Structure 1
Amino acid sequence: MVTAPASLARSSWFARPAARDWTCPPAPRDVAAFHRTLPGHAATPLVELPSLAAELGARRVFVKDESARLGLPAFKILGASWGVHRALCDRLGLAPGGTSLADLRSARPDVRLVTATDGNHGRAVAAMARLLGLAAEVCVPHGVHPEAVAAIKAEGAAVTEIPASYDEAVRAAADAAAVDPSALLVQDTAWPGYERVPQWIVEGYSTLFSEIDEQLAEVGAAPAGLVAIPVGVGSLAQAAVTHYRSGQSAPTLLSVEPDAAPCVLASLHQDRPLTVRTRPTTMAGLNCATPSTLAWPVLRAGLDAAVAVTDASAARAAHDLARLGVAAGPCGAASLAGARAALAPDRRPLLAAGHGETAVLLATEGRAANPA
């Protein structure tokens, strides 16, 4: 991994339409079935916003509202729940397909879940630990909002505050897990030698995209022609690429990052994974310096557009979504800010033809959440 030159980190746009032709195998079919067994499961809303369609020059625009997913204010529980389930089954030698959460609770595993987070992933892991009667430790970097820290503690997890960046918090969590035989690291980014659990977490996100397909069909909309995805280390975007590049349609998949931390965008420009020097941003959950090693090959092959947006544009998008009845924080609103930037007249010709038919914006977390 090398550090990006400042000129690359500042570049705000990337497009490679040929990525739409890349294909890959789909996510496992049993993920959505597992999620349906979780307490309080329900599909999150897909909200149609005609005024945004008029503004963006699309026939129909939908926002996937993840502000209340399984009782938590973000999509992260989809990945954390499947990742924890698979990892515990693996640790205990149980078959994932035939093992319920009740089975795992009854097994009373001597396991302590460990992770690092900017907010929502850690809270999701802590919630799974509470559900299963397990201990959890969550490392949080400098800059995480006190309310996000309090929410993690309210789930019953121990919080270790790391006075450094997100990447350093990840290292601290990995180090803590390495010296404790009972620890199970459940991290949503990958590095060489640590990829199985992150892959399971990515698989967990597939439920979100299956829901979108079903919901679009229910309202008679065309399949998604543009999907805008907020990006930190790239795991959700990896799930999006896996879903849409293994299906019948080939929409434009647009990654959206803060201009203060555009690690995927800079890597796409250089055609190799880079570490960027980050700055503070209100999109705290996207403030990541390095793409996941698991996500990068998939994003390089199948992500056909990427954009970096400012804090001001994300704030405007959050305000506009709130006015339309969708409560999104800066990270969730980044998808609208990114779509606005990508649909500029000089950029539209590089997008899939269907982008003018149906656009889907992922509002990945609620307004009160510190996204992660």
Structure 2
Amino acid sequence: MTETSTSRSLTWYAHPAARNWTCAPASGEVQAFHSGLPAYSPTPLAELPRLAGELGVGRVLAKDESARLGLPAFKALGTSWAVHRILAERADGGRGAGPLTLVTATDGNHGRALARMARLFGQRAHVFVPRGLHPAAVSAIAAEGARVTVVDGPYDDAVRAAAEAVTAPDAVLVQDAGRPGYERIPGWIVEGYSTLFTEIDAQLAATGAASPGLLAVPVGVGSLAQAAVTHYRSRPADGPPAALLSVEPEAAPCVLESLHRREAVSVTTGETAMAGLNCGTPSHLAWPHLRDGLDAAVTVTDAESRTAARDLGALGVPAGPCGAASLAGIRAALTGPDAGTRRAALDLGPESTVVLLSTEGNAANPRFLDPRS
């Protein structure tokens, strides 16, 4: 059974049966690969007791992805594993040793991460970006050595342009959104994100805790949320299974709208400071996992995300707007009118552990910091 409610300030979806759904696990080789990369170390899981008191739960912790493999967001986990798999497959097939051109579309962090990994592995990168991406974000991608093409349209137009540009035999599309006929490489990117959740397991275990009672995930096309669902729905829980909450901008609620309809749909997106979440179509690859494995979904405003980012920063977690969306979403879900009903849907009590994925640092999104935005 699902529950839906809509008001001017909150859109909510709940699917409590998700905790009974299971799926196959990610590859067990991913973290060992990441451990061998230069600059690898687990990112912090910061304890935030002030937020636990505010939200009426036992513990709140934030997974701080503001310095992942030398970049200000989590995306390098997925791009590094995908590039590794692409190059390994090419070598196994006896194909030419010359450099590839790795092509993608991005709202910022994914493209910069792919450009960094292309440089690290001796490849080329061509990155398509939507109109309106902040010039500093474009410059950061170019500074990694990538060719950058600005598309006169939104993110989904950039995705189409990137796919159409892959015509030469030495060009490979490395996109994090799957579609029919294009699933293997997006699947590798999702697998790459599994390291983040393996780290959380170890970090919670070191404090004597089991799985989180609730984990909040910012959502664009849904690839990171797919990785979260894969991790927590593919293994026996040490205690009650984790509830998984997706958080999107009000301006780009493609996953929440799809969950309401129980089928993947596209939405027209608006302007939002949460640029990395400004996506109009769920990943084809992610959608079945999101439909069946997410417990709940909520949307947040830019103002709520900005407030959450300021609050996280004051607590020592340098969150950008996409990362801060997790806290904004938790606040929307656990406070205000009908909060008791939403807490019950998530099976949260006063002793529960809540984990927020702060997926980018404030340096990752210059638009958010720019007073003109």
TM-score by length of 2: 0.92
Q: Distance in 2 between matches of 1:321 and 1:231?
A: 19
Residue matched to 1:290: 281
Q: Does 1:146 align with 2:151?
A: no
Q: Distance in 1 between matches of 2:213 and 2:134?
A: 35
Q: Secondary structure at the match of 2:102?
A: strand
Q: Distance in 1 between matches of 2:90 and 2:262?
A: 37
Aligned 8 A contact 2:130 2:150 in 1: yes
Q: CA deviation at 1:219?
A: 1.5
Instruction: List runs of 5+ in structure 1 lacking aligned partners.
Output: 1-6, 96-103
Q: Distance in 1 between matches of 2:244 and 2:351?
A: 14
Q: CA deviation at 1:93?
A: 2.1
Residue matched to 1:13: 12
Q: Distance in 1 between matches of 2:179 and 2:272?
A: 24
Residues 10-50 of structure 1: CA deviation (Å, up to 9, x unaligned): 97110010111001111110000000110011000000000
Residues 151-171 of structure 1: CA deviation (Å, up to 9, x unaligned): 111110010011101011011
Instruction: List runs of 5+ in structure 2 lacking aligned partners.
Output: 1-5, 368-373
Aligned 8 A contact 1:9 1:266 in 2: no
Q: How is 1:130-209 mapped onto 2 (pairs within 5 angstroms)?
A: 130-177=119-166, 179-209=167-197
Higher relative contact order (CA 8 A, sep 6+): 1
Residue matched to 2:356: 361
Q: Distance in 1 between matches of 2:29 and 2:77?
A: 13
Q: How is 1:259-270 mapped onto 2 (pairs within 5 angstroms)?
A: 259-270=250-261
Q: Residues 54 and 142 of structure 1: is their aligned pair in 2 closer, same or farther, counting only changes over 3 Å?
A: same
Q: Secondary structure at the match of 1:114?
A: strand
Q: Secondary structure at the match of 2:234?
A: coil
TM-score by length of 1: 0.92
Residue matched to 1:301: 292
Q: CA deviation at 1:222?
A: 3.4
Residue matched to 2:249: 258
Q: Distance in 2 between matches of 1:355 and 1:189?
A: 37
Aligned 8 A contact 2:179 2:285 in 1: yes
Q: Secondary structure at the match of 2:344?
A: helix
Q: Distance in 2 between matches of 1:32 and 1:355?
A: 33
Q: Does 1:129 align with 2:126?
A: no
CA RMSD of superposed structures (Å): 2.0
Aligned-partner residue type, residue 134 of structure 2: H
Q: CA deviation at 1:9?
A: 11
Aligned-partner residue type, residue 362 of structure 1: L
Q: CA deviation at 1:353?
A: 4.0
Q: Secondary structure at the match of 1:191?
A: coil
Aligned 8 A contact 2:298 2:329 in 1: yes
Q: CA deviation at 1:371?
A: 9.1
Q: How is 1:83-98 mapped onto 2 (pairs within 5 angstroms)?
A: 83-93=82-92
Quote the sequence identity (%): 64
Q: Secondary structure at the match of 1:347?
A: helix
Q: Distance in 2 between matches of 1:371 and 1:108?
A: 37
Q: Residues 94 and 49 of structure 1: is their aligned pair in 2 closer, same or farther, counting only changes over 3 Å?
A: farther
Q: Distance in 1 between matches of 2:54 and 2:326?
A: 15
Residues 254-310 of structure 1: CA deviation (Å, up to 9, x unaligned): 000000000000000000001011100010110000000000001101001000001
Q: Distance in 1 between matches of 2:208 and 2:176?
A: 35
Q: Distance in 2 between matches of 1:67 and 1:227?
A: 18
Q: CA deviation at 1:370?
A: 2.5
Q: Distance in 2 between matches of 1:52 and 1:136?
A: 41
